[in-house]
Chain A
Amino acid sequence: MRLSRILAMAWENMTQRKLRTSLTTLGVVIGITAIIGLASLGEGFRLDVKERMEQGFELNVLIVIPGSFTSGLLGGFTPQDVANIRENVTGVEIVTPIITLPQAKLNNTQTNEGLNAITVGAVNFSEIRQIFPDRFIPLTGELPSQEENDTVVLGFRTCYLNDVTPVVNVGENVTLQIDGSEMPKNGTLQVAAILNKGGTSGITNFDYWAFIPLNAVPAPINEKYNIILVKVSDPEKSEQIAKDIENTFENPYSISILVPIAFMRQVDRILNFVQLFLMAIASISLLVAGIGIMNIMTVSVMERTREIGILKAIGAKSRTVLGMFLAEAVLIGIIGGLIGMFTGYGVSYGLAYVLSSFMQPQQQQDTIFRTPETHGMNINPVFSPEWTITAFVFAIIVCIIFGLYPARKAAKLNPVEALRYE
């Protein structure tokens, strides 16, 4: 018997039992909807998280800090350490040290109004600008091009306390005071630039930083760096480069290196696992649909016992009968799968909308870790063709597996007994 005729007859049989067929198909539709809906939602969630992390972390910047959990804090890095990294490690583009000055206070020299600088960092401006090209964009003023020793660059939040008027303007002077220390000359610094909002990077938010040139830091602390930033040419090689950096030190365990991409990978792995887990749960509904198919087909075989007997009596082979019933299961799988794809897409959009509106950020206190441009979770479902095809094939396979038993039962019927069946 021709395959096209088998399919046509299966289709006729199905359309003559519309309610039953549609209910059986509904099971598959729900299964596929769940799988595709969750898959595309999960994918969208993953991409959103990834995007956020890429915004927050410079994936190509390694952060080297002195000390580790095992050896305790060291005094800091020396210029020699920086030079060692710069010269001995391949794959490194820029190496720049930072000195952080704790308990520093900045005031407008004229008005004596305090600035909101949580950290004052001494940096090499030209180098740090290359490391963070997106964050060191002046809102007003210009970054000091050569290494001066009497200028300051202010993070957005240090002077814009209320988003409207700055505490201090470019060109005006600020006074830097550091408790219990005579540096840097307790002098006044001219504001060279105010930076645009940059947001959280890795472990800190530069909007709350004020930057002074390294030259402004007096001896002896001007040669004790707290942080070394290393920009790598290929983030994928971060781990190897981190190892090489460790090896430039006499005791590799005396430093710690933050590798953002390793963190990213870990998060990605977790999200991947969560997504698979969701899919596994969704798959259960498809299995339930399969059992529904098996149930309804077994009943159908019993009802059509006589018909099967007739078909066999007039010359249908067992495999033809098997084919006729399997064709019904496959058709249910195909139709259910196709409908399920569309409803799956629909459901994922609906769910994304609901979830997004639930995850709007609450208006919170201005904290260090609050990113200035915090926006609501915005999940857009992502439809991967791989998942769609996988789900579709899975639906058909489930239908075949669960349709096989009743179809075999039909095929194996003894024609004489089947004809006698009332």
Chain B
Amino acid sequence: MKALLEALDVKKAYRIGKLLVPALRGVSFEAKEGEFLTIFGPSGSGKSTLLHLIGGLDRPDEGEIIIDGFNILEMSGDKLAELRLTKIGFVFQFFNLLPRLTALRNVELPLTIAGVPEKEAMERAKEMLTLVGLETRMNHKPTELSGGEQQRVAIARALINNPKIVLADEPTGNLDTKTGWEIVQLMKRLNEEKGQTFIVVTHDPQIAETADRIIHIKDGLIEAIKEAPRGNKP
């Protein structure tokens, strides 16, 4: 399998007041096509920062990030937005759905931004919501959905543009254990069915264990990258 994503000695620091706080101090790894990766570490270890960087939401201070052949340091803001739109799907801990839009409209949103005609966008969004098991909840607003359902909507939204990589930042962090497991299972299933690369940030060792590989991160550095046998079901 070829490397879809490469991070080379990535460094990033945040300025808090006058203090420069290093979040990443030189991180290198790669993700292959179709891989299910977890980034595991305690809070404050820099794993979310890493996820934002490899998702093109932010730029590293130093080092290189290459996504599907594109070096994000060389890309303009518009090009990065385009990259996020077409190659990357995000799933967040707090779902980050637009509260005023229905589930269907939330899933349509990336297609709307991409300029897909309204009718086609709706068809595709319906399909995707069916795929995540929400065919009966499409016209509900996020506030009328449970946490698990909201996260399913978020996953559907992340996948609607057929991205190469799905990045999930603590996707179970705001859910109870049972629902959390269901979400992980859903992601595993989609990974197997659609062959997209999943990178999941978590601080839950059990969830981390479900991956093909686990990247252990601590204090802004990679401690270890462990292989786990494929098919390690939750």
| A416:B57 contact, CB within 8 angstroms | yes
Query: What B residues does A16 contact at CB under 8 A?
Result: 100
| B58:A310 contact, CB within 8 angstroms | no
- How far, in angstroms, from A419 to B55 measured CA to CA in the complex? 14
Give the interface size class of chain B.
Answer: 20 to 34
- How far, in angstroms, from A416 to B92 measured CA to CA in the complex? 12
* Residues A414 and B85 in contact in the complex (CB < 8 Å), given A316-B113, A419-B96: no
Residues of B76-121 contacting chain A, CB below 8 A: 77-78, 81-86, 88-90, 92, 96-98, 100, 109-110, 112-115, 118
- Minimum CB–CB distance from B225 to chain A (whole Å) comes to 25
- How far, in angstroms, from A318 to B81 measured CA to CA in the complex? 8
Q: Please, what's the 1-or-0 string for A9-23, where 1 marks a CB less than 8 Å from any CB in chain B? A: 100110010000000
A-B pair count, CB < 8 Å, reads: 71
* Residues A317 and B96 in contact in the complex (CB < 8 Å), given A1-B112, A5-B118, A414-B58: no
Q: Output the nearest chain B residue to A16 by Cβ-Cβ distance.
A: B100
Interface residue count for A (Cβ, 8 Å)?
A: 25
* Residues A314 and B84 in contact in the complex (CB < 8 Å), given A2-B115, A416-B58: yes
Q: Output the nearest chain A residue to B112 by Cβ-Cβ distance.
A: A5
Residues of B110-137 contacting chain A, CB below 8 A: 110, 112-115, 118
Query: What A residues does B158 contact at CB under 8 A?
Result: 314
| B77:A12 contact, CB within 8 angstroms | no
Taking the complex as formed, is B203 at the interface, i.e. its CB lies under 8 A from any CB of chain A? Answer: no
- How far, in angstroms, from A286 to B174 measured CA to CA in the complex? 48
| B109:A314 contact, CB within 8 angstroms | yes
| A416:B52 contact, CB within 8 angstroms | yes
Taking the complex as formed, is A319 at the interface, i.e. its CB lies under 8 A from any CB of chain B? Answer: yes
* Residues A415 and B57 in contact in the complex (CB < 8 Å), given A314-B90, A315-B84: yes
Taking the complex as formed, is B157 at the interface, i.e. its CB lies under 8 A from any CB of chain A? Answer: yes
Taking the complex as formed, is A312 at the interface, i.e. its CB lies under 8 A from any CB of chain B? Answer: yes
Q: Output the nearest chain A residue to B163 by Cβ-Cβ distance.
A: A315
* Residues A307 and B115 in contact in the complex (CB < 8 Å), given A313-B84, A313-B90, A416-B52: no
* Residues A315 and B86 in contact in the complex (CB < 8 Å), given A1-B113, A1-B115, A419-B92: yes
Query: What B residues does A415 contact at CB under 8 A?
Result: 57-58
Query: What B residues does A318 contact at CB under 8 A?
Result: 77-78, 81
* Residues A317 and B98 in contact in the complex (CB < 8 Å), given A414-B58, A416-B57: no
Q: Output the nearest chain B residue to A307 by Cβ-Cβ distance.
A: B98
| B118:A312 contact, CB within 8 angstroms | no
- Kindly name the residue among B86, B96, B113 whose own CB sees the greatest number of chain A CB atoms within 10 A: B113
Query: What A residues does B114 contact at CB under 8 A?
Result: 1, 315
- How far, in angstroms, from A416 to B113 measured CA to CA in the complex? 19
Taking the complex as formed, is A196 at the interface, i.e. its CB lies under 8 A from any CB of chain B? Answer: no
| B100:A316 contact, CB within 8 angstroms | no
Taking the complex as formed, is A320 at the interface, i.e. its CB lies under 8 A from any CB of chain B? Answer: yes
The secondary structure that dominates the B interface is helix
Query: What B residues does A312 contact at CB under 8 A?
Result: 57, 81, 84
- Kindly name the residue among B55, B83, B84, B157 whose own CB sees the greatest number of chain A CB atoms within 10 A: B84
| A317:B52 contact, CB within 8 angstroms | no
Taking the complex as formed, is A311 at the interface, i.e. its CB lies under 8 A from any CB of chain B? Answer: yes
Q: Output the nearest chain A residue to B84 by Cβ-Cβ distance.
A: A315
Query: What A residues does B92 contact at CB under 8 A?
Result: 419
Q: Output the nearest chain B residue to A412 by Cβ-Cβ distance.
A: B77
Taking the complex as formed, is A46 at the interface, i.e. its CB lies under 8 A from any CB of chain B? Answer: no
Q: Output the nearest chain B residue to A2 by Cβ-Cβ distance.
A: B115
Query: What B residues does A317 contact at CB under 8 A?
Result: 77-78, 81-82
- Minimum CB–CB distance from A176 to chain B (whole Å) comes to 93
Query: What B residues does A320 contact at CB under 8 A?
Result: 81, 113
Query: What A residues does B109 contact at CB under 8 A?
Result: 311, 314
Q: Output the nearest chain B residue to A9 by Cβ-Cβ distance.
A: B112
* Residues A314 and B113 in contact in the complex (CB < 8 Å), given A5-B118, A416-B57, A416-B58: yes
Taking the complex as formed, is A306 at the interface, i.e. its CB lies under 8 A from any CB of chain B? Answer: yes
6 contacts between A and B (CB under 8 A): A1-B114, A5-B112, A306-B96, A312-B84, A319-B78, A320-B113
Among all A-B residue pairs, the 10 with the closest Cβ atoms: A315-B85, A317-B81, A315-B84, A310-B96, A415-B57, A416-B58, A314-B110, A317-B78, A1-B113, A316-B113
